[in-house]
Amino acid sequence: MESVLVANRGEIAVRITRTAKEMGLRTIAVYSEIDRDALHVAVADEAWNIGAAPAAESYLNADRIIGVALETGAEAIHPGYGFLAENSEFAARVIDAGLIWIGPPPEAIDMMGDKIASRRTATAVGVVGVPGTVEPVLDPDQVTDFADEYGYPIALKAAHGGGGKGMRIVRRASEIADALEAAAREADAYFGRPDVYLEKYLERPRHIEAQIIFDSAGSGFFLGERDCTSQRRHQKLLEEAPAASLTDEVRDAIGEAALAVGHACGYQNAGTVEFLLEGEESFYFLEMNTRLQVEHPVTELVTGLDLVRLQFEVAMGVELDLWDVPVRGHAIQLRINAEDPARDFQPAPGRITKYREPGGFGVRVDSGVEAGAVVSPYYDNLAAKLIVWAPTRELAIAKAKRAAADFQIGGIPTTLAAHLRILDNELFRAGRHYTTFVEQELDLTGLDQEEGPALPEEESTTERQATVEVGGRRFDVRMWFPEGQLGGGAPTRRPPRLQSSGAGGDDGGIVTAPMQGAIVKVAVKAGETVHEGDMICILEAMKMENEVKAPVGGELVDLRIQPGDTVSAGAVLAIIR
C-alpha cells in the first residue's frame, strides 16, 4: 500500500492523515465546499472537492468518494468514524472497486450494526445483554406489555444506530406514544431505518467499553477497557482508561466477553464492544461499534500503541503480536464541543476567533480546527480532543484540570468549563459516577462562557473556469469568488434578515431559529391558538434535536416552515399575535 484516501473530515481525518504520512503513504483528503480551508485539507498531500455542505451531498456521497479514489490512484480508503464508517454497503463497494477497505468485513458491520441481531449474536456466545426485546417494536401496545413485565423506566433505542441517537427514555405510560414516534423519526433520520427496540433502562450504571482488534489470521486481542460514563444526552463527554474501581476479575471477564462477540461475527480490524456495569460485578452487553472510536487516544496513551497504524497493518495482512500488552498509568480525554453547558449543552456553532492549545508532559491535543475556523452546523460539533496521561488517576485528573484551564478557545461557547466541574465532582473523583450524573447532579450554573460573534452567514459564491499554464503544462481550473467581488469592487450586501430574541417587547411573538438546521417536525398549524412554552417545531442541528417553543401565547397568524425545510440562524419560523 502506497496511498490512502481518508473519507472523513475534522480531527479524525487529521489524525489518520498524520499516521499515514508517518508510514510513508500518499494521503488524499476529501472536502465539502464549506470545508475548503479546513485543517484536514491542509495537512493532506492532495485534496478533492466532493460536493456541497450537506453531508448527504458530500461526505455521504459514496459514488463521488469512490470515484475520487479511483481517479487519484488511491489504493485504500480509511473511513474514520461517523459518516460512512459503519455502512456495510459502502465497505462492500470499496472492496468491489479493487480498493483496500481499512475496516471490518461488511458482513460483520451488518451483523453488529443491527442492534437486535447483535444482541442475538452476543446471547448465542453466552454474553448477556440488558433485558430487552429481540424484535423491532411496531406499536405502543408492545411497549406497554414490556413495561408490565419489567417495569419503568424503559429505553427505546434505534436498532441500526448508536451514540444516543434514536433513544428515548419512558418513565410512565403517558409518554409511550410520543417517545416511540420520536425515537423512530430520529432513527430514520440518522440511520435510514426507523426500527427501534426496547431495553430495561438501568438508572445508575457505568458505561464500560472494551477495545479489541482482530488480524487477518483471526487472532483477537483485548487492549484494555475505557470508562465512558460521563455523558450528556447519552453522548460521551469524558473518557478514561483504565476504568476506576474495576477489579481484575471483572476486567478479564469483560475482555473475554468482547473477544467472544468479535469471534462470533467474524471480526477483523479495530472495534469496540460496549457494556453497562451495574454495581461492582454485573455487566451487560450493550452494542459493538465496528470502527475506530472517538475515544481511542486514551487506549493509545496507556498501551503505547498507535491504533490507526494497527488498522493499516491489519488491512495489509500483517499478523499482530499483541498477546501481552501492559497498561501503564492513567489517561483522560475531554471532548471539546461547540456547546453551551449552561444552556443544557445547546449546540453553538460559530467562528473561532482565538485558539491556543495547552502543552507539557503527558498532554496531547487532537484537533480539526485553528484560529479563524468555523464550527459548522452541518456536522458534528466536536472541535478538538484534549487527552492527558499520568502515572495515576489522581495525577491524571490534576493534569487534565491544568491543561483544560490552559486551553483557550474564543468566539464560541465550549464544554471546557463543564469539564472542569466534572473533574472536581466528588462522585467522579471517587469513581462512583453514573451515566446521567452530569445532568442530575452537576451544577453548571454561572459558567463563564465566551459568547463571541454569531455564525457568519454562508457566503454565496460564483464559479469561474479558466485555462492556465504551469511550467509549460496546460491545466483547466475552476475558481470560486464571493458574489460581488468578481470585478474587484465591494462585496454585494444582502438585506438584513428580520430577527428577534423572541422574548418580550413588540416583537415578542416572532419565533426565530436559534441556529441553522433542518425542520424535522412541525407541531402546530397556522390559525391555531398556542400557549407560551408550546412546541412549535423540532429543529435538527449538529446531530441534535432542539425543540423551538412559543415565546408568548396567542394566535399563530403566520407559519413559514414545513418538515424538510432548511433554515438559517435567526430566520423567522412563525409569528404569534
| Residues in Cβ contact with 369 at an 8 Å cutoff, skipping those fewer than 6 apart | 11, 39, 352, 355, 375, 383, 384
Residue 535 three-state SS: strand
Residues of 398-429 as b/e, b for ≥16 C-beta within 10 angstroms? ebbbebbeebebbbbbbbbbbbbebbebeebe
- Contact between 204 and 276 under an 8 Å Cβ cutoff? The reply is no
Q: How far apart are alpha carbons 346 and 68 in whole angstroms?
A: 36
Q: How far apart are alpha carbons 488 and 499 in whole angstroms?
A: 31
CATH class of residue range 3-102: alpha beta
Same topology, domains 332-428+437-455 and 510-576? Answer is no
Task: Give the DSSP H or E segment for 397.
Answer: helix 393-406
Question: Between 460 and 377, where is the model more confident?
Answer: 377
Q: What is the CATH number of domain 205-328?
A: 3.30.470.20
| Residues in Cβ contact with 453 at an 8 Å cutoff, skipping those fewer than 6 apart | 350, 351, 353, 411
pLDDT at 321: 96
Q: Which fold has domain 510-576?
A: OB fold (Dihydrolipoamide Acetyltransferase, E2P) (2.40.50)
Task: Give the DSSP H or E segment for 179.
Answer: helix 176-191
Q: Stretch 470-477: mean pLDDT, rounded?
A: 57
Task: Compute φ and ψ for 181, nearest 5 degrees.
Answer: -65, -45
| Residues in Cβ contact with 175 at an 8 Å cutoff, skipping those fewer than 6 apart | none
Neighbours of 283 (CB within 10 A): 22
Q: For the chain, what are the domain ranges?
A: 3-102, 131-200, 205-328, 332-428+437-455, 510-576
| Residues in Cβ contact with 323 at an 8 Å cutoff, skipping those fewer than 6 apart | 221
Q: How far apart are alpha carbons 291 and 79 in whole angstroms?
A: 8
Sorting pLDDT into bands at 50, 70 and 90, what band is 497?
very low
Quote the cell numbers at residue 484: 460581488
Question: Between 489 and 98, where is the model more confident?
Answer: 98
Q: In this model, does residue 98 exceed pLDDT 50? A: yes
Q: Stretch 202-225: mean pLDDT, rounded?
A: 96
Q: Which fold has domain 131-200?
A: Dna Ligase; domain 1 (3.30.1490)
Sorting pLDDT into bands at 50, 70 and 90, what band is 87?
very high
Give the pLDDT confidence of 279-309 residue by residue, as tens digits.
Answer: 999 999 999 999 999 999 999 999 999 999 9
Closest CA to 161 of 291, 62, 264: 291
Q: How far apart are alpha carbons 567 and 552 in whole angstroms?
A: 21
At CB < 8 A and 24+ separation, what contacts does 144-149 make? 144/173, 144/176, 146/198, 147/173, 147/176
pLDDT at 545: 77
Q: In this model, does residue 470 exceed pLDDT 80? A: no
Q: Which CATH architecture has domain 332-428+437-455?
A: 2-Layer Sandwich (3.30)
Q: What is the mean pLDDT of the chain?
A: 89
Q: Which of 320-329, 485-494, 542-551 has the highest mean pLDDT?
A: 320-329
Residue type, 553: G
Pairing relationship of beta strands 554-559 and 529-530 according to DSSP bridges: antiparallel
Phi-psi region of 269 (alpha: psi -120 to 50; beta: other; left: phi over 0): left
